[in-house]
Amino acid sequence: MRIAVGQYAVAEDWTSNLKSCQALIDEAVGGGADLLVLPEDAMALFIDEPLRIVDAAQPLTGPFLTGLREHTAGTATTVVVGMHESAGGGKVHNTLVAVRDGEIVATYRKVHLYDAFGARESDRVRPGDGEPVVFDCAGWQVGLMTCYDVRFPEMARLLVDRGAELLVLPAAWVRGPAKEWHWEVMVTARALENTCYVAASGECGRRNIGASMVVDPLGIVRGRLGDGPGLLWAEADREELEAARRKLPVLANRRFFVDPSIR
């Protein structure tokens, strides 16, 4: 599988962000990407007016996602992108959507809300139902996670239990003391402990670190971006995945399993 991971500085205006996403889609399609991963909430930025998130949210039938769907029509590249989706009752969902050839192929609503480091995402966002989302892309099983989800290893393991060979992680990782190190450690750990690939897209700009990464099943970083806009390329190889799982059979050797019904 040929993977592209894009990052950019999200603006407050969704129309500007749609153009940024479309440009990255064009570049990914032109380079033969099977999968393009874009950041969490690539639709709009809320720094000075965080409560505006509710008014600015759109449904999956809204113009932002419709514009992306139309832009992928006639292509084979699957695009994973984050947006805030209208949820009613004064709240929104933090939603990932996978689109391919003009159609929605998967949706995931963020489960673990960022109530940490002084932030309270749950004030405005309603969590998803916790059902793990795994979909097929170019013959690979791809699991969806969002940003803060990476701090919960059982989330990644549950996706791998459902067959995921590649974990996709769009994020908007906020700068702060040791936060870059947290990102690096946890993205790498989720790949190594599950012997799977992880493709993590980080929003960049004045608030967030960027630092998109692709990590292989033995925890080796295959490529990374800095703190500016860009597109990262990497390959996922089936033989490499199977060899890693033979060499390091942690999935076969484990003694405990994740039960999502226990909370």
137 an active-site residue? no
Q: Give me 224's structure tokens.
A: 């990374």
* 19 vs 36: CA distance, rounded Å: 15
Number of H helices, E strands in the chain: 7, 12
On the question of pLDDT at 101 being above 90, the answer is yes
pLDDT value, residue 45: 83
* 262 vs 157: CA distance, rounded Å: 15
pLDDT value, residue 178: 95
pLDDT tens by residue, 19-63: 999 999 999 999 999 999 999 999 988 765 667 888 889 999 999
Q: Which domains does the chain have, with CATH numbers?
A: 2-253 (3.60.110.10)
19 an active-site residue? no
User: Of the given ranges (13-27, 37-51, 125-139, 198-212), which has the lowest mean pLDDT?
Assistant: 37-51
* 15 vs 140: CA distance, rounded Å: 32
* Residues with Cβ within 8 Å of residue 25, at least 6 apart in sequence: 36, 68, 71, 72, 75, 77, 79
- The single residue of 21, 85, 110, 204 carrying the catalytic annotation is 110
35-37 β-sheet, strand order: 103-109, 91-100, 78-88, 35-37, 2-7, 230-235
Pick the closest to residue 259 from 157, 142, 164 (CA basis).
157
pLDDT value, residue 53: 87
pLDDT tens by residue, 105-119: 999 999 999 999 999
pLDDT tens by residue, 158-193: 999 999 999 999 999 999 999 999 999 999 999 999
- The single residue of 21, 85, 137, 147 carrying the catalytic annotation is 147
On the question of pLDDT at 147 being above 70, the answer is yes
pLDDT value, residue 50: 62
pLDDT value, residue 190: 98
* 163 vs 242: CA distance, rounded Å: 13
pLDDT value, residue 74: 97
Q: Give me 104's structure tokens.
A: 């929605």
- The single residue of 21, 40, 85, 137 carrying the catalytic annotation is 40
Pick the closest to residue 39 from 76, 9, 73, 71 (CA basis).
9
Pick the closest to residue 6 from 31, 44, 29, 36 (CA basis).
36
Share of the chain above pLDDT 70, in %: 98
Q: What is the helix (H) or strand (E) element at residue 26, kind and residue range?
A: helix 14-30
Q: Rounding to the nearest 10 degrees, give the CA dihedral for residues 12, 18, 23, 29.
A: 140
Pick the closest to residue 198 from 153, 228, 229, 239 (CA basis).
153
40 an active-site residue? yes
pLDDT value, residue 261: 79
What is the chain's mean pLDDT, rounded? 95
Question: What are the DSSP E strand ranges found in 27-165?
Answer: 35-37, 78-88, 91-100, 103-109, 134-137, 140-144
Share of the chain above pLDDT 90, in %: 90
Residue 219 sits at the vertex; the CA angle it makes with 96 and 10, to the nearest 5 degrees, is 35
Question: How much is the average pLDDT of 1-18?
Answer: 96
